[in-house]
Amino acid sequence: MAKYVAGIDFGTTNSAAAISDGATPRMVDVEGGKDTIPTALFFADKTNRVHYGRDAQNKYTNGDGSGRFMRSMKRILGSQTMRGGTVVNGKMTRFDTIIEYFVKHLKQKIDKAAGAKVEYVVMGRPVHFRDNDPAGDAQAQAELEKIALAAGFKHVAFQYEPIAAAFAHEQNLTSEKLAFVVDIGGGTSDFTIIRLSPERKFKLDRTEDVLANTGVRIGGNDFDKALSMKSFMPCFGLGTEYKSYDKNITIPTSPYISLSTWSSVNEVYNYKTLNMVRGYTVWGLEPEKTKRLYEIIENRLGHKNLDYVENAKMALSSQQDYEIVLDFLADAPLVKTNRSIFEDSIKSDMAKIEKSVQECIAQAGIKNTDIELVILTGGSTEIPYVSRVMQSYFPNAELSSANKMASVGLGLAYDAMRRFAEPQHTK
């Protein structure tokens, strides 16, 4: 095997990495003693420095906010947007360059942990980067491969994230299991049916063990968007009207949708949108609400608001009711929500997830009662609604949720050990 190999779980919301020198893979300290890092960057305009992860979030939300904050960049891979760029501190910067900054940062952490430059890596990927778009899906993987090579890796391979999670869990099995892997991250929900066993884990080629793979481009970020639109945006005027001559017209939803979508928040920070919203504060029938919308856009507080939304979502995993004061706004409005409202808001997203689960079972040609082990990975599997749905499909299965945030990274490193065993050194 190569002296060191690595696995990188480049996620929509969080990222992680693991390395191995032939021994049991270990997670890499990617930020301040932690083995996960938010997939976020902040380009500070005063110092011209790039900040990453929690540091980026803190610099943006607790500093003066002067600079460009970016998150959920994985979602634009394979899209038309990826072919262009965006203005970062007055300079047009390509999106592949921005993602390369982050991947290169991960590589630096990997090299530090290994004490050497690591050349071999298996990158995680969702089953579908783009739904119903094979060309876009292939393009997304090619873009990520090019970025990994530019970041300094010399040999890059890919593995489906749910399969990687299965490899990590397989290390602790004492007998063969037919497993269903549920990987619901920030941007995608991916599913795999795979045969796992103590003997199979040493095989280089696991093709015959994988019975089915399906996925849908729905994840935790979409749940944030749904909760934001249901419980937060009405506080900023969503659903209210403005007077136009002798008619009352409902305010367009476009600025609210952008402010509820992690990858689109920056799109409302322009003169045209600000001028439009200024008009709503004058002609709106509920100006106290649209003034808050104006304040958010003028002061670029969209990401801070989404932080509050995300905190509400996470809190509703352990409690029924939740309320929060939006203390970053001048009048500090109170937002109240509850688990029932949240679950109702994500019902259509969950229907798409369930359809993908059903497709995976059908593709494998098995009955749901044949599944002996359900492996839950990804932060969004903590949501009670998600857990209930998965348990209802597989009533006979043992449920495993160990290492939810680390299992994909570890599994990718296990896969790298197999792929880059001597004398292969090929993709």
Contact predicate 37/27, CB 8 Å: no
Name residues whose C-beta falls within 8 Å of residue 83's C-beta, 6 or more positions apart in sequence.
Answer: none
Sequence ranges of the domains in the chain: 5-175+402-419
Sequence-distant (6+) residues with CB within 8 A of 367 are 361
Which token pair is 318? 């352990």
Whether residue 234 is preceded by a cis peptide bond, meaning omega within 30 degrees of 0, is no
The fold of the 5-175+402-419 domain, in CATH, is: Nucleotidyltransferase; domain 5 (3.30.420)
Cβ–Cβ under 8 Å, residues 19 and 30: no
**Residue-level pLDDT at 221:** 96
Query: 3-class SS at 37?
Result: strand
What is residue 65's predicted lDDT score, i.e. its pLDDT?
64
Give yes or no for a contact between 25 and 407, defined as CB atoms under 8 angstroms apart: no
Residue with tokens 């570890």: 410
For residue 222, CA distances in Å to 160, 242, 265, 300, 358 come to 21, 28, 14, 21, 21
pLDDT of residue 405: 80
Give the model's pLDDT for residue 355.
97
Cα angle: 204, vertex 37, 70; to 5 degrees = 115
The pLDDT assigned to 424 comes to 44
pLDDT recorded at residue 425: 44
Residue spans of the chain under pLDDT 50: 423-427
Beta strands in 155-197 (DSSP E): 155-160, 177-184, 189-196
One-letter identity of residue 3: K
Short-list 314, 272, 276, 310, CA closest to 293: 276
The pLDDT score that the predictor gives to residue 2 is 58
Q: What is the DSSP letter of 31?
A: B
Q: How far apart are CA 125 and CA 122, in angstroms?
A: 10
Helix (H) or strand (E) holding 111: helix 95-114
Which pLDDT value is given to residue 64?
A: 62
